[in-house]
Amino acid sequence: MSHDVIIIGGGHNGLAAAALCAKAGRKVLVLERRDVVGGAAVTEEFHPGFKVSALAHTAGPVRASLVRDLGLQLQTVEPEPRVFAPQPDGRALALFGDPAKSASSIGAFSAKDAAAYPKFHETLTRVAAAVEGILDVTPPDIENTPKLADAWPMGKIGLKVRGLGRDDAYSLLRWGPMAVADFANEWFETEALRAIIAARGVAGICAGPWSGGTTANLLLHAAANGGNGAGSTVFVKGGIGAVSEALAAAAKKHGATIRTGAEVARLTTKDGRVTGVVLANGEELPAKAVASGTDPQRTFLRLLDPALLDPEDLRRMRNYQQNGMASKVNLALNGLPTFIASKNVEDLKGRIHIGPSLDDLERAFDASKYGDFSQAPYLDVTIPSLTDPSLAPTGRHVVSIYVQWTPYKLRSGSWDARREELGDTVVKHLEKYAPGLSGLVAHRQVLTPLDLEKTYGLTGGHPFHGEPSLNQLFTMRPALGWAQYRSRIPGLYLCGAGAHPGGGVTGNPGANAAREILKDL
């Protein structure tokens, strides 16, 4: 049986592409290696009665047009404060959606920064609004003569940038290549505030706050969430897996077929064109188009015969930066932890930032450069059971901890051997801010970059399918000339986070890819 479109991988981007193609009347088949759909956007029970967003723990947020066009039924909540940053001296800094409330919290640290914050918020909001459209467009092919179809959407974005005025437009051009530490230092003097802002620029990247180009990562995140100075902290009731389940339901509603436990072994080709896939069990499935929701290296170096690639393209793909730097520690607790910096449970409902200063962040990154993880790691912590009690038994809680800068390749030992050492390090570090935490732990799950690769299919353990660095963004994601979702091989497309605009639970890459697939079909 032939299909119009086969989607490899049932992650949220693959499901978004499948749902949109099916809605357009195309015959769509989704093939997922695991027994559940969702990829990195899954809710899993890791201890009896305890469920957690296993990898990604906040939404991007999900693309508004995707929610509207597919009629997705998602219950979301954005608690206040959005970010709570306890400090070693017992104080805490909190950022809210309302810049006036943020300024009030900042005032306890610096009157100067409290006065500067509203301007920072307003400037970032204006700049983000001007570049927001970049998330929805297909990047132009700058290797070849630009087409009118490319020029029109880019022209609209250009007009918005021009409409910013000279000062904001100049700032936007200057900020992109900057180290996010320099960006934060330009605005503020308070280390705690600088660190919170810098964390947005280094999220999901093998770079520290003093690395060039990290402000571009911050601006990309700001464009996705409206530019609020505090960023966004969007939880989905039922865990992040509820997003994938809603997309899967929409795809099925419009006629798509989803097969789990169906691992794709290789792509089939004829006369230089991709014609379908072969499953691990030998079953061959033909299709007019194949869209891969897996990462670029898995797609082009494992599923596709590399001999079909031009030597220069093969070189580019082999040098694509895709080694991961993130781990996840999930805790099942017998009670709610108590933080020294606050007795108000409302403070703990958003993201809890553990990284007091720029130097603390940079030192944590430094360890990873030499093949190790820091003894004082940067942590992005959530307690999702506070906003969604269904995730844990009554009176108990789950804690989801994103651990930045844990290198895929360790200098000493293996991840299998050092898994629990990482878990111990994370709990010990967090316990400095929440004494007694270890005594509440009923169960602990540690997911290393190796687990992200083996269990979730993320080559190199990279949750974003590759570095969101300047040389791998927009027209160069995943590589120069490959950014139009169509690969160099006719019939083969990319629809995962390795395509523009990259990672995060937004559905943007899948939605953009579906548009190009439908054009070609």
In this predicted model, what pLDDT tens digit does every residue of 378-412 receive, in sequence order?
999 999 999 999 999 999 999 999 999 999 999 99
Radius of gyration of the chain (CA): 22
pLDDT for the residue numbered 152:
62
Question: Would the pLDDT of 146 be above 90?
Answer: no
Q: What percent of the chain has pLDDT over 90?
A: 89
Confidence of residue 151 (pLDDT cuts 50, 70, 90): low
Query: Per residue in 51-102, pLDDT tens?
Result: 999 999 999 889 999 999 999 999 999 999 999 999 999 999 999 999 999 9
Confidence of residue 165 (pLDDT cuts 50, 70, 90): confident
pLDDT for the residue numbered 168:
82
Question: Would the pLDDT of 498 be above 70?
Answer: yes
Instruction: Set out the domains of the chain in order of their start, with CATH numbers.
Output: 3-39+240-320+466-520 (3.50.50.60), 117-224 (no CATH), 323-454 (3.30.519)
pLDDT for the residue numbered 11:
97
Contact 456, 462 (CB under 8 A): no
Confidence of residue 154 (pLDDT cuts 50, 70, 90): low
pLDDT for the residue numbered 145:
61
Contact 425, 375 (CB under 8 A): yes
Query: Per residue in 293-321, pLDDT tens?
Result: 999 999 999 999 998 999 999 999 999 99
pLDDT for the residue numbered 88:
96
**Span 27-40, average pLDDT:** 97
Cα–Cα distance between 28 and 2 in angstroms, integer? 10
Tokens 């200057």 label which residue?
A: 174
Count helices and strands in the chain by DSSP H and E runs = 17, 18
Confidence of residue 226 (pLDDT cuts 50, 70, 90): confident
The mean predicted confidence, pLDDT, of the chain is 95
Return the minimum-mean-pLDDT range out of 4-13, 140-149, 510-519. 140-149
Burial of 413 (0-12, 13-18, 19+ CB in 10 A): exposed
Confidence of residue 332 (pLDDT cuts 50, 70, 90): very high
pLDDT for the residue numbered 169:
84
**Span 163-189, average pLDDT:** 90
Amino acid at 21: C
Contact 346, 357 (CB under 8 A): no
Query: Per residue in 446-496, pLDDT tens?
Result: 999 999 999 999 999 999 999 999 999 999 999 988 899 999 999 999 999
Contact 329, 422 (CB under 8 A): yes
Q: Please tell me which residue, 93 or 227, carries the higher pLDDT value.
A: 93
Cα–Cα distance between 210 and 202 in angstroms, integer? 10
Both structure tokens of 23: 């809605």
Confidence of residue 161 (pLDDT cuts 50, 70, 90): low
Question: Would the pLDDT of 153 be above 90?
Answer: no
Both structure tokens of 381: 């912590």
- What residues are paired with 446 via a beta bridge? 329
Q: Taking phi first (over 0 means left), then psi (-120 to 50 degrees means alpha), and beta for anything else, what does residue 395 get? A: left
- What residues are paired with 330 via a beta bridge? 400, 445
